[in-house]
Structure 1
Amino acid sequence: MAEPLRLTVIICAYTLERWPDVRAAVESVQRQSRPPDEVILVSDHNEDLLVRARAAFPSVTCLPSTGPQGLSGARTTGVDAATGDVVAFLDDDAAADSDWAARLLEAYVDPSVLGVGGAVVPAWRAPRPAWFPEEFLWVVGCSYEGQPRTRAEVRNPIGANMSFRREVFAVAGGFDSSVGRLGKDTAGCEETEFSIRVRRTHPHSCILIEPSAICRHTVTADRVTRRYFRRRCRGEGRSKAVVSRLARGGPALTAERTYVRRTLPAGVLRGLRDLRRGDRAGAARSWAIVEGTVLTAGSYVITRVRLAGSGRGRS
């Protein structure tokens, strides 16, 4: 009988402004029905946060990031220190359900599975705007309409709730800081680029989504404005352009093409149907889908042109 997999959970934090959320994230991990074998909190170049974390969480390994400032460098620092067979990542403003760890680990029974992500449910700190469509919940870092509702293979998990076998980092390397998030910046997609790299170095492997492995992701009032929605869409377009360059095409945008061709048109039609049924916000949701698509695609194209013009787009 195979030995049980050891689990390391990594939480990366960068600001004391989120301290209540950081505490909630750590406590949710400590309350797991299947406790992790190791919990690591990485402070992203914030000494005050590190000191406070070490005092508050004596059973947690609290480390300073040794990489470039930003989420990618902090995550890679955590991986370098991890000893578990599986390394799970939970955002500092997310809280895991009590069976989160157990659900993630269940999917690793198949040795070809190298990564598993879970569902990310929004925890609204302000009323959700009626115009905010399900198809764009990725704007606030959450699972969105169009993702699988049962366990299925995916290109990459959502970064707020994901895990990988630790051994893949030795071959594929760490997270690329050129696409990682820095503070409150709206860029990201480091998990997308990393997952593509994992699949290239392990061509017969797979990455799964396990929707029953749930975390609750805090959505603050500043993230439910149209201004943030637009800024986040533009940031996503820039990030996808960089990922596409790093991945040299191929699988970089396969998921997005399906999303644009199927999920978004269906969302626009659903909003219009809701309008006909008397829901005036249906039209606003349809428009948000159109606007978000145009902003994201436009930012992607502009960034690709800039990268090519600067010579960085050359392979």
Structure 2
Amino acid sequence: MKPAGLPRDWQADVVVLANRTPAEPLTIETPPPPPPGPTLAVRARRWLDLNRQRLIDTVIGAGAVLVALIGWHLLSANHVDLYVRFENVPSPGQVLDATSRQFSSGAFLVHVLASCRRIFIGFALAALVAIPTGLVMGRYRLARAIVFPLAEIFRPIPAIAWVPISIMLWPTSEESILFITFIGSFFPILVNTLHGVDAIDPVLVRAARCLGAGEITIFREVYLQSALPQIFTGLTVGMGVAWISLIAAEMISGQYGIGYFTWQAYSLVDYPNIVLGMISIGALGLFSSGLIRFLGKLLMPWRAGR
């Protein structure tokens, strides 16, 4: 009878222990240690192999920026006048001194934060409205027949032309600026989303229906997923137009912001601060567009190598 608590093969274990001589040591087999992982040098070499082309592109881009800075310094320092005049253009050193003064006082940071807040609110609202509208227009013919003519009428109107009517529509200048930023980024996102839906293969929709997918599932898994590349193209273009619209609105009706700062520097004939405002606009636009591209890579990992 098998004693309680012993494993199923207890008889074999008892036989082995009984036949073992007292001098024979009891050995327990242990698994071999795992092989050592790659060294730091091997990991670094693998990382370089995977990111070689990206590093080359970064070096080329940094070199292009350096060449542009050197050319700017030479043209402004020598006051070159070859039809395009550089007598009053500040040098990079003067702009750097102006940057140091502005950041030490803290006033310029207030303008930067105000513009960033306006961009975030106006662009986010435009994306939240334009993407679903574009998807619905691409899916339903009636919605497209209603919205598309109105969109094509308002789309060619530049954002700067909306400033007078925007001041009359909204009670405060802050809301007017947000509206102009919204308008500037809305139409590129809408049009690219609509084109992304139009490019979807109808076979995918029919296949989803045959597999039992409902309308919401088709919207989420077919229309939205297939149109994502075009949507992010529209988001990137819309971000650039949003900055253009914002700066124009701040120059005309703003009381703070980078556009207001740049226009005020022009009114005071402060050339270094004018260039500082322009460079800040370009840097912030580059950062925000890069953030959108990074988000696109996270949501579309199958296009990460492009």
Q: TM-score, normalised by structure 2?
A: 0.27
Q: Which has the higher helix share?
A: 2
Q: TM-score, normalised by structure 1?
A: 0.26
Q: Which has the larger radius of gyration?
A: 2
